[in-house]
Structure 1
Amino acid sequence: MPARLNIPPITRAVLITLVSQSFLSAVIRYRQWTEHANIVIPYLTLVPQLSIIYPWTFITATLVEGNVFTLGIAAATIYYGGRYLERAWSSRELAKFLALVALIPNLLTFLVLIIFFTLTRNESWTLTVISGTISLQSAFLVAFSQLVPAHTVTIFRGIFSLRVPRFPLLYLGVVAILSLTPLLGGASFWLALFGFLTSWTYLRFYKTVFPDLESSQSPSLRGDASETFAFAEFFPAPVKPFVAVFADQVFEVMVAMRLCTPFSQADMSAARGENLLQRGTPGSARAEAERRRAIALRALDQRLHAANASNSAGRSSSQPPTQDSGPSTETQGSQAKTQTATTSKPGPMLGETKFEPDHDDDGGKH
């Protein structure tokens, strides 16, 4: 029998909704299709001129794909990315994240199209369909950039190599090009852009940070003040200084508007890993607990064997040698060492991710 797919509940629900709504949309368009008709479905997808009376479309339109190609990419993205993030964060955190990166990009794209219509009086802007998982895909890439910022993806046998934080910007470029073709709609670029900005803002300033159980930090700490997740880190090195200056100015405006608060020194210390497990890869807290338990078991095992060796040495020196056909002391010592090496070797850990702490002592970037 094939192995049963282990899909967490939120990821499974999103996948079912995506396939169901996309199939329903395809059936409706097929039944209403004519050679010259431009078919829109305002109660499934978000159409600025028609969907205002269907407010649920500001969220549900994200899970409607218009063709088989984009549907396949969307399903793979949600299956792998959603499953990874749900195990890393918890179902509740993933649900909150998905709701934000679906609602806010759709709403902002809706407003952009209304502004374009106001400036040009071209009705095609208000009939542009807003739908698809573009904003989710962009947001997932940002989330991966936070979780594994030092990882490098290498393809084509080392010909092409790129660090994970570079993928969101690359994805924006690809979407911008494809939006000029029939494959993607005219709103796709705005969805990708706002998905990127919304997810980074939420993860940088608002998402709850899970504390180390052995620390005295409050569990209400939020955001990620680490240098590796600064906004400028998504851009190539030559433009990083300019992006950092611009990001700092925007951050000051947000602080003045009380949309976010500056990071404290404790936040910066936590971001360097002094107090918190800031980036939670799947099973990170459990992996840390397992690692510490394995170290404690190894230390205890070594002490026990050292004590046994001392007792054996004391008994052998106080008793006269006897003719014994059993194994010699050296053989027993070698067996004890072999047993020590065998029993003290820990089993496979949860979340086998190599962690390299940052050595930057500079101030936090935004």
Structure 2
Amino acid sequence: MPPRINIPPVTRILLIVLGLQSVLSAAIRYRQWTAHSEIVIPYLNLVPQLSLIYPWTFLSTTLVESNIFTLTIACLTLFHGGRYLERAWSSRELAKFLLITALVSNVLCFATMIVLFAFTRNERWTLTTIAGTIPFQISFLVAFSQLVPAHTVTLFRGLVSLRVPRFPILYMGLVTLLCMTPILTSASFFLANFGFLTSWTYLRFYKPVFPDLETSQPSSLRGDASETFAFAEFFPGPVRPFVASLADQLFNVLVAMRLCTPFSPADLSVARGETSFMQRGAPGSARAEAERRRALALKALDQRLHAATAHSAPVRSQSAGPPHTPTASTPAPSTTGPTVQTQPGLVGSQTAMTAQAEGLLGETNYNPDGDDGRSG
């Protein structure tokens, strides 16, 4: 009997809606296809000139792919990225994160198309279809950069070594290249950029942080003030100071417009108090680290007990008399109680998340203070 694939509820719903809407879009295009016109579906996809009377398209259009290549990439991204983040954050937090990313990215892309039409008077901008899971894909990469910022992914048998925060910029460059081909439309370029900015802004300033019961961390803490998740950390070293200076200026403007608020002393103290094993955004970071250390200690104790038992067994078998009864001077090794393998819930959630990230991103290693790798 084949193993059952466990897919969390939000990820499962997204995959089902993506498949149904993409198949429906393909069927409509097939029936209406002509060699002399481009087919648009304003009640399913977001088309700036035609979709204002269909407001639901600002959300539905994100789960529509127009060709088999992008549909395959979208399914793989949602399956792996959605499962990982939903288990790390909870279904509610993942749904909120994807809803904000998709809605804000589509609205900004819609407004950009209108502005370009106003300046150029080229109707092609308002008839461009805004669709696809690109905001979801770039938001997953940004979220991974927050959860495992110090991990390095090795590709092509060690020829390329990249830290996780480099992947969003590489993805945006790949989308830019594909926009020059029939695979992606010009709207995909704007979706990638707006998706990157929206997801980072939400995770940096607004996403609630899971309260840690073993620390004095306030339950209302939001965002991520750590230096490893600063905007400049997504860029290579040579341009990082320039990007950091520009980001500071933009942040001051957003604070003046009351769109963002500066980090409080509690935010900064929590960020400075993080260890290399505790990433913000993971539930119960300090508790997970304590459980991880306790599991390692129990495993070492269990191995010593097994070694002592195996060493004393041949001695007892060579004895001709009755079995030796332990006394106060010769205490018997205690073998009662469950071993580490049967202790429920000892391995921390951070260890499990790291193992899932390695399975998703390929061969990885942890290097919090090292260089970015050969191409970083």
Alignment root-mean-square deviation, CA? 3.2
- With over 3 angstroms needed to count, the CA separation of the structure-2 counterparts of 1:283 and 1:268, relative to structure 1, is closer
**C-alpha distance in 1 between matches for 2:36 and 2:254:** 47
Offset from partner CA, 1:90-143 (integer Å, 9 cap, x none): 111001001011111111111111111111111111000000001110111000
User: How big is the shift at 1:12?
Assistant: 0.5
Which residue of 315, 324, 327 corresponds with 1:326?
Answer: 324
2:161 is paired with a residue of what secondary structure?
A: strand
Q: Secondary structure at the match of 1:52?
A: coil
Query: How has the CA–CA distance of structure 1 residues 96 and 260 changed in structure 2, closer, same or farther, with 3 Å as cutoff?
Result: same
How many angstroms does 1:163 deviate by? 0.4
**Contact 2:279–2:285 under 8 Å retained in 1:** no
Letter in 1 for 2:257: M
User: Is 2:11–2:83's contact at 8 Å kept on the other side of the alignment?
Assistant: yes
Determine which structure has more spread, i.e. the larger CA radius of gyration.
1
1:336 match = 333
In structure 2, stretches of 5+ residues that fail to align are: 306-320, 356-364, 370-376
**What is residue 360 of structure 2 aligned with on the other side?**
none
Supply the AA of the counterpart residue of 1:279.
R
| Paired amino acid for 2:52 | I
- For the residues of structure 2 that align with 1:159 and 1:63, how far apart are their CA atoms? 35
Counterpart residue identity of residue 201, structure 2: T
Residue number in structure 1 paired with 2:292 = 291
- Aligned-residue identity in percent: 66
The match for 1:174 is: 174
Report what 1:123 is aligned to: 123
What secondary structure is seen at the aligned counterpart in 2 of 1:53?
A: coil
State the shift of 1:37 in Å: 1.6
Q: Is the Cα–Cα contact under 8 Å of residues 204 and 223 in structure 2 kept in the other structure?
A: yes
Using the alignment, how far apart are the partners of 2:103 and 2:339 within structure 1? Answer: 53
Shift of 1:155: 1.2
Matches within 5 A, 1:1-366: 1-273=1-273, 278-281=279-282, 287-288=288-289, 290-291=291-292, 294=295, 326=324, 336=333, 343=339, 349-351=347-349, 352=351, 353=354
Secondary structure of the residue aligned to 1:233 is helix
**Does the 8 Å contact 1:152/1:163 carry over to 2?**
yes
| 1:326 shift after superposition | 2.2
Mapped to 2, the partners of 1:285 and 1:16 lie a distance apart of: 36
What is the CA distance between 1:215 and its match in structure 2?
2.1
Task: Point out where structure 1 has 5 or more consecutive residues left out of the alignment.
Answer: 306-322, 360-366
Give yes or no for contact 1:272–1:358 (8 Å, CA) kept in 2.
no
CA distance in 2 between counterparts of 1:197 and 1:151 reads 22
Cα separation, 1, equivalents of 2:341 and 2:330: 20
1:325/1:115 CA distance change after superposition, 3 Å: closer
Deviations 1:286-323 (A, max 9, x none): 74463365479789x89xx9xxxxxxxxxxxxxxxxx9
The whole-number CA distance in structure 2 between the counterparts of 1:350 and 1:129 is 45
Aligned residues: 337
Evaluate the alpha carbon distance shift between residue 274 and residue 75 of structure 1 in structure 2; reply closer, same or farther with a 3 A threshold: closer
The amino acid that maps onto 2:208 is T
Displacement of 1:273: 3.6
Measure the CA separation in 2 of the matches of 1:27 and 1:286: 51
- Once the two structures are superposed, residues 154-201 of structure 1 have per-residue CA deviations (whole angstroms, 9 ceiling, x without a partner) of 011101111000000000100001001001111001000000000000
Greater RCO, 1 or 2 (C-alpha within 8 Å, sep 6+): 2
